[in-house]
Structure formats: C-alpha cells, structure tokens
Structure 1
C-alpha cells in the first residue's frame, strides 16, 4: 500500500511537487503534470484507496483516513522545498495535509488550491452522495471532466459510483470553521466559467492567513486545469522561483 508514486524524478532536484487528484481520479488524472514541469523538480502523485493500483481497498470517506498516512509518506521523502497542489477534492486533502505538516514542524513551501471553495465556507449544495444513480450521473455531466463514453458505459459506471459517492462524501464533509494560519505561500486558482465554485468562494482562501496569498482566474469551467495544463504548471513552478529569489535576497537557503 503506497500512497505516493513518482511521476517525474528530476536530476539533482531542488524541490518537490506533490499532486492530489480530484474526485474519482487516480494517478492518470495527474499525468499531465509530467509533461510541463521544468527540470530540477520531483513530482509525486498521491494514490488514494479505491483506485487502479488500490482497487481492493475501500475508498475513504473521512480526512482522518487519508491525512496521517500521507503525512507519514511525505516525511519519508528527502527534505526539500515542497509544494502541495490539488484540484477540487484534491485541494481539500492538500489543505488538510498542509495543516498537519505544520503541526509536526514540516511546513511546505507552498499550497496550490484550485476549483475549491475556502474551507470555512458552508456547503453551497445538497449532498451529492445522497443522489440516486441518475442524479449522480447528471451531476457528473454538469461538472464536466468525465468522458461521455464513460458516463454511457453502464458496467463501468456501476463500478465507479461507490468510489464517486465516497469521494463526494469526503469532499463535501470537509469544513474547517477556523482554519489555522499557514506559514507558506498560498496560490488559489479559479475558473472564470466554473458554475460549481465561484471566483468569490475561491478568493475566500485569503482568510486562511498564509504567509503570502495570490488569486488567479483562469479560462474554463470546473476542470479548467485540464483546459490550461501549461499555465497551471507554470503557476506552480512560480512558487519555487519566488522562494529562490527570496532566498538569494536574504542569503538564506530555500526552505
């Protein structure tokens, strides 16, 4: 049972990106990161239970089922500047992991959250996991990101729905009434045509009181990172560049 899988192993890496998949996604949902990341960075993908490679394990429905083992796996990596990046459900898990890493004295350099409302905001929709099969399929069509041929494959959808319900449970139940301040750079990304998460809801991540906060709006709907993969990777890389410039101005090594 391995929670982290290498997507890119850089030569003499100066930093590490750890990517968290969106709901229903496995490592294949993160492969686009391997195409645009500049040399000098390691990229690891988080493999959650219930996906290919971990089919025999039940999908998680609570953060306490995923955060501790991910934190343990991250602590075993070489200690380099670390950026956590997640989209939608992945952003929620990445935030929970960032808070846990801060508590154990291993704060990441940066956190990139995309397509995700700030953690203190109340739900803006009825629980998706309570929908019947037809309602769940309709919600997936509305969100986008799921190929039509998958939605039309009855056997495949029968296999996937338990995982999707678990992921929606994990995602929709995550709320932090008073997020802890985070000593890191926080980059929040919103899709200008996202009807699920508004730009204002993404902008509310500023209340997390990170060391530095930046909001970027990108073209596209809820899965705008799939529509703009190069821009997404460039923005993640900018956190490492910003850290390197800050270190050079102070004479201190990157942390």
Structure 2
C-alpha cells in the first residue's frame, strides 16, 4: 500500500443490522470503509446467525484478511454489538496474524468487563421488540412491516443473545490505539462505563462524545467519519479523490 492510500476500516454492525448500513455512508477522502457481513442478514439471510462472539470472530477473521489483502495495516470500527466484535477481531488480528492494527474504534458500548446484562433475549416477540427499542432509543424502519419484522426477529434475537452473553476472550488488553465514541444523550451506555475502555488497550486512548442518543450514528455519520479520519491521518498526509466502500 502506497503512503497516499487510506487505511482500510473494517466495519462491524450493531444488532440486527448488516453491511449495507455502512455502504450508504458518504466518505471523506481519507477513509476506506470495508463493511463485514454477518450471516443471517441481507445477502446471507439464509445462513444461521451467530450466537457467540468467539464463533463470530473465528468466522470473520479469514473474511477480514481477504477483504484487506494487499494493505499493510488495518483499522476496525463497530457500534454496540459491533464494538465488542471489532474489539475481539482486533485481538485476533494481533494474536493470529502479522497484519498490524492501526486503530480500534468502539462506539455505543460499555467496556468489555462491564458488558450488557442478560435481560432481553428471552422475552416474547412483542416484549423483545419493545425492550430493544427502549434500550436503543431507536425503532428500526423494518419493524413497520409485519413481513420484514418476522424476517428480522430471529437474527436480531440471536444478535442480542450474542451481546448479552459476551465475555472478553482474554483479561489482557490489546496493543492498538483505541478510540471510544458515545452519543452524549445515550441512556443505554453511561459515560463512566464507556470511559472504562481505557483499560482495554496498552496504547493511546481517546474518548469522544458526539451529539445524539445511543443510535447517534444514524444521523451523525459525517462527524463520526471525521473522527475516524483524523485519528487515522492526524496530519492530513493522505490524499485522493475519495475512496468507496469495498
């Protein structure tokens, strides 16, 4: 990878979402987003969704390496469930590959040792949907359609189970620099619990609050992408006319 090329950012979705969420983002020139697709959604709807973070990361690792083949370093980003997937994927990259992790971005999630309490995955469908919307402060547009709701629920339920059952793969922190992001009106993740991510890395740590609630990134992606771009290229050395998602 030449010095002018942007560091690819592997993107992991929040519960119920797919790679298409990231493909819709308009990107600044210094970013190259690489959405990773989980089974059970979009073009992988017919595949069984993961219910354990460890299994998900085991499957994601070769896909991630293939997606960034030819690059000399990589970054990872994830929101909510995606944050713990991104964190554990970064650990797997550090421990099992020779590909350097330039930066880890975790969003809308408490630190690994202060994970989500198991309280939603076992509820009835109506109670489950209501609880997820209450926790996230966000109603997925697909829930307006009975057909899409029925299609989405098994994957969303599996994602929530995966998040609620998550425990860190190791007590040791990762080595990559880490930035934790949070909506300043997030009622699901407190500022205190988010700032505890500082102990998840032996390198530099930054905490940033952006305007919005738990799902601030649905409307605030320009500011969010600006944070990512600045962290990956603090001196603005990378040039280009823009890089699409790959």
Q: Please classify the TM superposition score into its range, dividing by the shorter chain length.
A: 0.7 to 0.9
More strand by share: 1
Distance in 2 between the 1:130 and 1:17 partners?
Answer: 34
Equivalent residues in 2 for 1:43-192 (5 A)? 43-76=33-66, 77-104=69-96, 105-123=98-116, 125-142=117-134, 143-147=136-140, 149-176=141-168, 179-192=171-184
Instruction: Give secondary structure in 2 for the equivalent of 1:53.
Output: helix
Normalised to the residue count of structure 2, the TM-score between the two structures is 0.86
| Structure with bigger RCO (C-alpha 8 Å, 6+ apart) | 2
Normalised to the residue count of structure 1, the TM-score between the two structures is 0.83
Distance in 2 between the 1:139 and 1:42 partners?
Answer: 34
Gap regions ≥5 residues in structure 1: 1-11, 246-255
Distance in 2 between the 1:64 and 1:240 partners?
Answer: 27
C-alpha contact (below 8 Å) 1:119/1:179 kept by paired residues: no
1:177 CA drift (Å)? 7.8
Q: CA RMSD in A?
A: 2.3
1:184 CA drift (Å)? 1.3
C-alpha contact (below 8 Å) 1:14/1:81 kept by paired residues: no
Equivalent residues in 2 for 1:187-202 (5 A)? 187-202=179-194
- Alignment deviations for residues 19-40 of structure 1 (CA, whole Å, 9 cap, x no partner): 111110012211243x02315x
Instruction: Give secondary structure in 1 for the equivalent of 2:35.
Output: strand
Instruction: Give secondary structure in 1 for the equivalent of 2:34.
Output: strand
1:174 CA drift (Å)? 1.1
Instruction: Give secondary structure in 1 for the equivalent of 2:101.
Output: coil
